[in-house]
Structure 1
Amino acid sequence: MQDATGPNSSDYSTDAAPGYPRTASGMDGRRMEYPACSGSLGLGEHRVIRHVPGSIDKDGLCYCVIYLPNNVIPLKQLEQLQHAAQELLSKYEQELSRINEYARTIEDNDNQILEVNGALKSRNPIAPAVSYESPAFNLLRLELEGAQELVAQLKTKGSVRAGDILYQLQSQVANASLTLKLLADSDQRSFRALRQEVDVLQSRVSECEREKEQEEASRNPDEPLPPGSCAHGGLQKVSRPIVVQLNWRGFSYKAGAWGRDSAPNSSSSLYWVAPLRTDGRYFDYYRLHKSYDDLVLLKNYEQRKMGFGDGSGNTVYKNFMYFNYYGTGEIAKVDLSSNSLVLRRPLPGATYNNRFSYAGVPWKDLDFASDEKGLWVLYATEESKGNLVVSRLNPSTLDVEETWRTSQYKPALSGAFMACGMLYALRSLSTRQEEIFYAFDTTTGKEHHLSILLDKMLETLQGINYCSLDHKLYVYNDGYLVNYDLSFLPLKHRLPTPPAKRPYEA
């Protein structure tokens, strides 16, 4: 048997009928004669032709004739393709096994999501189910990615005839992946929008509850706070401004400070007024009044000259005035009884010479304050990057007892004051209104934001001092002496605070 176009005869095998020899004759290119009356022709283990009829010649030998096709059968390539297909199927089964394991691990998450959906639906029947980042989307995505990878590998190793089918399959898988992505993105956007709406509603509810509590507290006020008492839940509101008078030096002296000796349980009702020079920096003269009536009527006062103060951060505590010594970062202490400088001491790390003063109020680098808890200084340092720092001072030695650093940039604030160990910071909303927007509790180290509006007569609040005896703010407003009554929340309505901040050691 001979076939010029066929493969080597060793690639063929036959199974002749029992009792017949298996020998091959020559090939004629189109016909293969095989010495068997019936049998089969195969390629390796695969039978191509079975039960071929034959004839017996005169010598008693049986011959059969097989007609082969003209095209060449790529046996080795077919075997390689079969092997590659087996490998791909094995890999695909491994991927499916991994997906099944993943599905089992996320089954609990699916159950939890169903429980959450049921709980939300019971609370709000019209609310959509929570499907954001649902494990079902992840499972489908993994299955489609595995199918895409398998189709791509089959395309690179497949035949030309199978290419069209694989291309259609690949397009279908890609379309399914795109549809899944669009569904997941749409579900994610819907969930985020719903969550934002819920956050806004919760914020409004909280604000409404707070306003209701404040309204109830104002309708049913508790007993007035005794002098020096901190039995309250924090600042609630500020009264309208009460203008006392223009400062005694005139309208040109727009910068300065004034107030009342704020030592708790003090028998003194000493009032003081300290305008700065017209340059808004140098502090040289001040007046003392033994009563509010004397202040209003401009009588029975003592006028003193000091000559070394810097800025409008002055305060009076237990008959001593505390201020920033001119041109330095030092704290100065003057005895008001004798008008004598009794102590100077540097404040560690404090900036000065208008480095980090308040917005619209120059030269107020060191801002002194006093309240029910003692004597304080508010300032900024290079280490704090200009953020407001609070230090409690020893009134006798001017040593720093403890220090806290806040999150507020001092030059962005219009002023600050202390009340019951709580720092309150202000910012300007317009030429006629300020907002007390920030509080820092030095007792707990916690801070929170609030919104208490404060009306003003003129644009700039140069000096702000709190008095614990009468719970008033004494404000020097562009040359005018103005005060405000402060109202506080009852203890049961104490404002909530976020997590504590660690004290800053200077």
Structure 2
Amino acid sequence: MQSDPTLLASFLLLLPLVLPGQPQLVRSALNSMDGSGTFQCVVHLPNNSIFLQQLEQLQTTLQDLIGKYEQQLSRVKEYAHTTEDQDSQTLELSHMLESRNPGVTVSQFDNPAFNLLHLELEGAQELVSQLQAKAGVSGAMELIRQLRNQVTNASLALKLLADSDYRSFQEEVDILESRLSECEREKEQEQSSTYPGPPLAPGSCTHGGLQKVSRPLVLKLNWRGLQYKAGAWGRDSAPNPSSSLYWVSPLRADGRYFDYYRLHKSYDDLVLLKHYEQWKMGYGDGSGNTVYKNFMYFNYYGTRDIAKVDLSSNTLVLRRSLPGATYNNRFSYAAVPWTTLDFAGDEKGLWVLYATEESKGNLVISRLNDSTLEVEQTWYTSQYKPALSGAFMACGVLYALRSLSTRQEEIFYAYDTTTSQEHHLSIRLDKMLETLHGINYCPWDHKLYVYNDGFLINYDLTFLTLQEKLPSSPIKKPSGASALSKPIKPTSPPGQETP
């Protein structure tokens, strides 16, 4: 037979069986090798069957051991390939580390995954340093210092526990990066408002648009009680009001019928509930009313009509139909029923926000003649009105809100009627309770007056300087609208009516 290492090993393993004083399993072994290299071996075995069985068992055990050896050898080869791959990755990452931080040696980070985390932490440290260099407000500096400490602690923990599971560290790095990005965004907004230039004059539009909204100031509960959750309140929204008149108009508990309102001659009178006039009107519909130049404008009950009341005498002086407008809760704001007509006043005049069947429910802006209530011009937006939680006008720009949660709104959309352009925003607005009802802007003090589930709250608005004006993008024409901006002419001359 040919010489085989396996058989040779088997033969050698049998040799120790031939020991002095022990029964011989192999009585003689004759061997020779011919000229071709073939090894000839003759073994004389005893006829004892017990010894033969033991020999067979030894042969089987030997084969098992050889098989296990080959299996382990295969695994060693696989591990060798894996180690070579990891060494290659480690070498590449070590070059990256050395290029960014010459003081870091490869021996400190022998795991490629941890090297990636270390690089991310280094990027976070650089971002913290940049933010700290730009910071100019003590509160922001404290936050940045806290973030720097957290990044440093995470980096140290990464070095100490390099042999442990790195997934938890990856999550921590992700959280830190998210907080740093949020801090950077807030810091940019804070820096742009740190030096806002000269104070904005009452009724002025020399700015680049809305930048941020303050935290809410909760004034008080409306005078009728907590069950009167829907309503509106505010100041005269004319740019230069003749008096500092404040008004409050809760709706009935059904959230629709507008019957009573109160007038206060000053803020102190409103807070102290003194020196007020209380009037009953009896034909208002919803919480979309506003006050402009000492007249209250609202939706006449059950119609598409605009009503105008003289607040000095509580007299209905004019009532006119709004052509094409839907009514009776058709296309109201989300979670705010009976707001089919929403009136607003600002530096540019008197406005009404509504929807039509022609616009397929998208919000429509119309500027009104405050004397005759005729529509002077109309703009179509791309926003579906029932998807909005409210809107207001400031310097001829519509700002639309949507609800993010029970405690926060977002001013996410703006439409400039001067340029017929829209742009998207992300300005957060905190709220005390879930639903914002009447939202009214006052140009005189640049505040928002909001009726929040029965409570009277207000916000200070901050505007960008002209150099920081927000970019705008062309608005798409909604289906069925022939122009972005066009006058609306009624089909028949509306006449003046009385209730």
Question: Which band: TM-score by shorter chain?
Answer: 0.5 to 0.7
Unaligned segments of structure 2, at least 5 residues? 1-180, 477-483, 489-499
Query: What's the Cα RMSD here?
Result: 1.8
Partner in structure 2 of residue 348 of structure 1: 323
Q: 1:360 to 1:470 in 2, by over 3 A?
A: same
- Whole-angstrom distance in 2 between the partners of 1:212 and 1:223: 21
The equivalent position to 2:286 in structure 1, one of 269, 293, 311, is 311
CA distance in 2, matches of 1:441, 1:402: 13
- Other-structure match for 2:435: 460
Deviations 1:228-263 (A, max 9, x none): 000100000000000000000000000000000011
Q: What's the counterpart of residue 476 of structure 1? A: 451
Out of 371, 376, 381, which is 2:356 matched to? Answer: 381
Whether the 8 Å contact between 2:376 and 2:487 is mirrored in structure 1 is no
SS in 2 for 1:327: coil
Match of 1:330 in 2: 305
CA distance in 2, matches of 1:403, 1:301: 37
1:69-113 Cα offsets, whole Å, 9 max, x none, are xxxxxxxxxxxxxxxxxxxxxxxxxxxxxxxxxxxxxxxxxxxxx
Partner of 2:203: 228
**Equivalent residue in structure 2 for 1:243, among 215, 218, 234:** 218
C-alpha separation in 2, matches of 1:287 and 1:236: 32
Q: Which whole-Å CA distance do the structure 2 matches of 1:262 and 1:268 have between them? A: 11
Pair 1:424-2:406 in alignment: no
TM-score by length of 1: 0.58
Residue 337 of structure 1 aligns to a residue whose secondary structure is coil
1:503 counterpart residue number: 485
Q: CA offset at residue 499 of structure 1?
A: 2.0
Structure 1 CA distance for aligned equivalents of residues 203 and 233 of structure 2: 19
Give 5+ residue unaligned stretches, structure 1.
1-205
Q: Secondary structure at the match of 1:305?
A: strand
Q: 1:419 to 1:207 in 2, by over 3 A?
A: farther
Question: Does 349-358 or 212-221 show the bigger shift?
Answer: 212-221
Query: How big is the shift at 1:442?
Result: 0.2
1:398 corresponds to: 373
User: Matches of 1:356 and 1:299 in 2, distance apart?
Assistant: 38
* TM-score after normalising by structure 2: 0.59
Q: How many Å separate the matches in 1 of 2:315 and 2:292? A: 15
Partner of 1:439: 414
Aligned counterparts of 2:329 and 2:262: Cα–Cα separation in 1: 26
CA distance in 2, matches of 1:290, 1:208: 43
Amino acid at match of 1:364: T
For 2:485, what is the secondary structure of its paired residue?
coil
Give the secondary-structure state (helix, strand or coil) at the position aligned to 2:268. helix
Q: Shift of residue 215 of structure 1?
A: 2.7
Match of 1:144 in 2: none
1:276 aligns with 2:251: yes
| Aligned match of 2:273 | 298
Q: Secondary structure, in 3 states, of the residue corresponding to 1:267?
A: coil
Identity of aligned residues (%): 82
**Aligned amino acid, residue 231 of structure 2:** G
- How far residue 216 of structure 1 moved from its aligned partner, in angstroms, is 2.1
Task: Give yes or no for contact 1:271–1:295 (8 Å, CA) kept in 2.
Answer: yes
More divergent stretch after superposition (391-400 vs 213-222): 213-222
Q: Which of the pair has the greater relative contact order for Cα pairs under 8 Å at 6+ separation?
A: 2
